[in-house]
Structures are given as C-alpha cells and as structure tokens.
Amino acid sequence: MGLLSNAAALLGKEVRTEFRSRELMSTTTVFVLIVVVLFSFTFDPTTDESHRFGPGLLWLAFLFAASLMLQPCFLREQVNDTLSALRLAVRDPFAIFLAKIGANTLFLLFTELLMLPVFAALFNASFRGQLPGILLTFFLGSLGISTAGTALAAISAQSRMRELLLPLLLLPLLAPILVASTEVTVGLMSPDPFMQWKGIGFLAVFDVVFLTALWLFGEYLLEE
Amino acid sequence: MAPSAERSIGLRFEKIDKRYGAVYALHNLTLEISPGECVALAGRNGSGKTTLLRVASSLTRPTRGTLAFSGVPENQNPQVGFVAHATMLYDELTAEENLLFFAKLLGVANRKARVDELLNEVGLGERKDSLVRTFSRGMRQRVAIARALLADPSLLLFDEPATGLDAEATAWLIGHLRTLRDRGCTILMSLHGESEVARLAARAVRLDTGSVVADTRSGATFQSVLTFAGG
C-alpha cells in the first residue's frame, strides 16, 4: 500500500476511535469554552478592545486546547503497544505522522468552528463576509499547530516527564504560529476587514517546513 | 494461506548489544536461525528474550552489531508477524475492525474473507462485532494471534504465545503453528517454563543476561534448556 492510502486508513481509524470515545473533542471543546468565557468576564472588553485583543485571546485558547489534544495522540498508542503494530504494518512511517496530523487538524478545526460563534457573541466580534479568510487562517494555523505538535508529542511520549515536556516544548515553538494567526485574524476582525497575505504566507511556509522535516526525520522519532 | 518453503527466511544476529542506559539487555549475542527453523527461546525474567524478539522484528535497533536476513530481497524487511506481551490491538475497535484495519495497512488481498476466516479459526467468529475492551485476556490474545497471521508472514515472532489461552485455543495455536512450520515459516518464540507449545520447536536456546548460554537441537538437554534445569 502506498503512503497516502496507508495514511487514509490510519486517519479513518483515528476518526473512528475518537468518535467512539469522544475523549479529545469533548474535553478540548469544554476547555476552550471555559477559557473564552473567563477571558470575556475578566477583561469585559469594549468593541474596540475586542478588535485589538480578541484574536490574541482566541488563539491563545486554541493553543492551550491543542496542547491538551496533542498529548494523548501518541500516548494512546502506547497503552497496548499499537504503535509497534503500526510500525510493522506500514512501509513508510510518515504515513503514521500524516494521519495523526490530519486527525489533530480536523479535531482542532472542529473545536475552533464550534467556538467561533461563542467568541463572536462574547467579544462583540463580527466575521460577516470574512468566513473564507477565517477558514483559511484557522486551517493553516491548525495545521501548523498539529504538525509541530504531533512531532513533539512523538518525542515527549517516550520521555519520563511526558505530561510536562509537551507544553514546555510546544508553547515556545508555536509562538510564531500564534503571532501570525493572531495578526491575520486581527485584520479580518477590524472594522475595515482585510486579509494579511504576508501572515498567510508565513503560516503556509511554517506548515511546509515542519511537514518536510517530519517526512525526512519522522522515522527516528518513532524508534525505541 | 501459509508461506511456501521458497519464501523461508533466515536470521543472523552478529555480536548484538542492546543497552538501556548502563544496563545491557543483550550483550555480544550471536545467533543464527536457519530458514524454516522453529526455535524456542528460554530464560529467566530479564534475560533478554523480549528484546531479542523486538530486535528480530526491527522494532528495536541494536546499540551494536548487525541483524541480517537471508531469503529477503536486499534493502527490504521480511513480512513479520509479531505477538508480544501487549496485544497491539485498539480497545475502542471491534475484533473485526481491528483485523480489517491492519489487513488494509498490510495490503492483504480479500481482506474481509481473510479476517472472517481467522476470527472463526480462533473461535471468535460470533464475537467479531464486540469491542476488544470487552474481551478477556485470553480472547484478546486470540485476536492478537489472528492479527499476526493476517498477512501470511514468513517470520513469526511470539513472546509467550500461550499466555491467557485456554486448552482449546492452545491446541488450535499448536496445530496452526505446526502447519506453518511444516510449510517453511521461520518461527522464533519465547517461552517461560514448560509449555506445550515448546514441542513444536526443533531447537531450544537459553539466554542469560543478554547472551546465549545454551543452544541445543535435540536430545536429553533439550527439555533442560527450556526448563532451566540444565547447565
């Protein structure tokens, strides 16, 4: 089987197991909801402040949620040593990463889209007419978070302080994604909305660089 | 659905070391296994049996030394069926979903028929739609064995294969392994103490602190190597 068909089979398994257990989606959605509501009550922002600070708070909430979501993606494979079975079954280990990245991006996007109306209501934000831009930003941002996060989750899963290590590595590494995604979202949320293509370009390059690095070196991250 | 003799593969472990920190799991281990041979590995806890099986499966890279396969095209790994201590199954999937998933990854032809055949053989045909997490240890082990046999492997690695199996399942396992062995499948299995499965083996190797300390093909010493009674 080829790389893509292996990855598709693995992605199907990820989605099926998640929709059966609902562990990641439910905890992440509740977590983001709590953070967004807390931010809203803490700052009680005016419309102007919402435009300036809202996107940053939103992406910060997504980042925290992602760190929760990414942690189990390889830990779950350790419970019954299914990662070994996957390594024996797939010809190219990058298929495992592709599927994990795909699943994490999908789950994160789902949470983000679910939270968007809540955020708009609490922060007096309007994304009218900007949905394609928002979707593109969310997709590229989530892909970047998932790609770098999946690589780090694979590393941290084999360490002793795995629960602490992932957020410690993840948050600094994803700072550029946070900044770029926030800037693009600020542009889309402003009274005269515009698309910051420079930020979109940065997100795309970040995604490509990390995907390439994983394609080249991912095999070593799965070794015992 | 068993491998033919011309697909038999051999293994040669050459001066293998596997170190975890300062501890040697395998130390200067040299062992040659001929194509189609059925070898029983014996040894106390921590003697290196599991590590040797993981090195043979290429899941674990040795710290030093080489592992070479014969009968396998260059730069390719053999098709390995591995039954380890852990079941290597997804608890949130049913027995059938687990096997179909791995069959798809392994590129097994006629997946559905093959999975049905194996599930019926291990006696779980009627429970194929049950989630694996609802299974007993023995039932999980049966699914794990079915998973290992899915792709008709030319090398079978078993880490205490009869763990949790009842007499009926053990008898099925012995019968199936005998068929595979007779058709040329190379089998390497670790056993702990006396086991009926050991009767399949034509050779017994005992490990101690990561090295081979006894290696016999037949005769009076065979049983003593397996039961740690002999030298």
Structure tokens at B30: 């040299």
> How far is it, in rounded angstroms, from Cα B135 to Cα A184?
50
Using an 8 Å CB-CB cutoff, list chain A residues near B60. Answer: 223-224
> How far is it, in rounded angstroms, from Cα B130 to Cα B111?
19
Instruction: Give the closest of A17, A81, A87 to B86, CB-based.
Output: A81
Distances from the Cα of B74 to the Cα of A97, A175, B192, angstroms: 26, 45, 34
Q: What pLDDT does residue B26 have?
A: 95
Name the pLDDT band for B230 (thresholds 50, 70, 90): very low
- Looking at per-residue pLDDT, the higher value among B7 and A32 belongs to A32
Name the pLDDT band for B216 (thresholds 50, 70, 90): confident
Selection from A126, A106, A118, A102 nearest residue A58 by Cα: A118
B43: pLDDT strictly greater than 80: yes
Instruction: Give the closest of B80, B84, B93 to A81, CB-based.
Output: B84
B195: pLDDT strictly greater than 80: no
CA distance A139 to chain B (A): 28
B6: pLDDT strictly greater than 60: no
Say yes or no: A128 contacts chain B, CB-CB below 8 A.
Answer: no
B5: pLDDT strictly greater than 50: no
Name the pLDDT band for B231 (thresholds 50, 70, 90): very low
| Mutation for B interface: A80, A98, A159, A219, most B CBs within 10 A | A80
Name the pLDDT band for B193 (thresholds 50, 70, 90): low
B1: pLDDT strictly greater than 60: no
Predicted TM-score (pTM) of the model is 0.89
Instruction: Give the closest of A1, A13, A85 to B88, CB-based.
Output: A85
Those residues of chain A that have pLDDT short of 50 are none
Structure tokens at A140: 């590229």
Q: Could you read off the pLDDT of B128-163 as tens digits, one per residue?
A: 999 999 999 999 999 999 999 999 899 999 998 888
Please write down the HEC assignment for all residues of chain B: CCCCHHHCCEEEEEEEEEEECCEEEEEEEEEEECCCCEEEEECCCCCCHHHHHHHHCCCCCCCEEEEEEECCCCCCCCCEEEECCCCCCCCCCEHHHHHHHHHHHHCCCCHHHHHHHHHHHCCCHHHCCCEHHHCCHHHHHHHHHHHHHCCCCCEEEEECCCCCCCHHHHHHHHHHHHHHHHCCCEEEEECCCCCHHHHHCCEEEEEECCEEEEEECCCCHHHHHHHCCCC
CA distance B86 to chain A (A): 5
Name the pLDDT band for B221 (thresholds 50, 70, 90): low
A residues 68-107 lying closer than 8 A (beta carbon) to B = 79-82, 84-90
Give this complex's ipTM: 0.88
